Amino acid sequence: MEPALSPASRIRRSFASLLLVLAVTALSACSVSDTLEIAAPQAEASKYASIVIDANSGKTLYAVAEDQTRYPASLTKMMTIYLVFEALETGRLSKTSEITISANAAKQPASKLYMKAGSSIDVDTALRALVVKSANDVATAVAEKLGGSEKAFARRMTSKARALGMSRTVFTNASGLPDSAMRTTARDMATLALALRRDFPQHYSYFRLTSFEYRGKTVRGHNKVLGMVSGADGLKTGYTRASGYNLAASVRRNGRSLVAVVMGGKSGSARDAHMTQLLTASFNRARRR
């Protein structure tokens, strides 16, 4: 039987135990991100989050605040597109199906195609507009086509998120326009990116688009990383004042495949530079190994 400890000894032992717990917790929190040498991002701490995942193994290669809730902005449209792809596979839609633009869809703020109420757009062009232009009017029209209303469609989006393992995501609209109830995490958005690649390889090429033709004009996109990183093949950018500059990216190179998410950049160029550094460092480490 151990001898009884004095009150002072008990306090010292408790304090030592607390320090050990704090040390282990701190090491666990930084162990993933410490494996790569990455410069501090130009981002507000309350908005920033990032993650890099090896798509082949599922291993997390880098992560900072990856499970902290953030605003998704137009990364939301990845789920809208997921449900369109699903409708194509079930036969509910074809690429030539027409989607009518309601008065509600037409009044959505930019970014948009400025379509008039009563006009229509085929599914193929709608997908191009969602990926490249991040068109909010088209997102709302798609939601009304598939869900009857955008609110009902948003519930389907959240339900699908749960089914895919996105446990901390709530969607309240199809576009990602500002809503305090909308939330996600970097990990959840990476999970969605992986699901799009895995579940719809036959449609994934939409995410590679950097432009498309619409009414005789070339509409150009915002995803500059497609031209900055060798092997980059999609996915989606996003921005609102509350979210900062977001980006989900996919890269395949030399038999390796990565998916990464950066949230909360202070500018589009800062976000793109940070994403490029994350992906480059991840591939360089993989090559050294």
Extract the tokens encoding 50: 């990032």
pLDDT tens per residue across span 77-117: 999 999 999 999 999 999 999 999 999 999 999 999 999 99
Helices (H), the chain: 7-31, 77-90, 103-106, 123-128, 136-147, 150-164, 186-199, 225-228, 268-288
pLDDT tens per residue across span 223-247: 999 999 999 999 999 999 999 999 9
CATH architecture designation of domain 41-288: 3-Layer(aba) Sandwich (3.40)
User: Is 31's pLDDT higher than 70?
Assistant: no
Predicted pLDDT of residue 35: 60
User: Is 10's pLDDT higher than 60?
Assistant: no
Longest dimension (CA), the chain: 88
User: Is 1's pLDDT higher than 80?
Assistant: no
**Has 134 been annotated as catalytic?**
yes
- Single out the catalytic residue among 134, 175, 250, 282: 134
User: Is 36's pLDDT higher than 80?
Assistant: no
Predicted pLDDT of residue 89: 97
Round the average pLDDT of the chain to a whole number and report it.
Answer: 89
Predicted pLDDT of residue 287: 62
Predicted pLDDT of residue 288: 58
Stronger pLDDT, 167 or 33, i.e. the higher one: 167
- Single out the catalytic residue among 33, 74, 111, 175: 74
* Cβ neighbour number for residue 124 with a 10 Å cutoff: 15
Predicted pLDDT of residue 38: 80
Strands across the sheet with 244-253, in order?
60-64, 49-54, 256-265, 244-253, 232-240
- Single out the catalytic residue among 33, 47, 77, 257: 77
**Has 74 been annotated as catalytic?**
yes
Predicted pLDDT of residue 54: 94
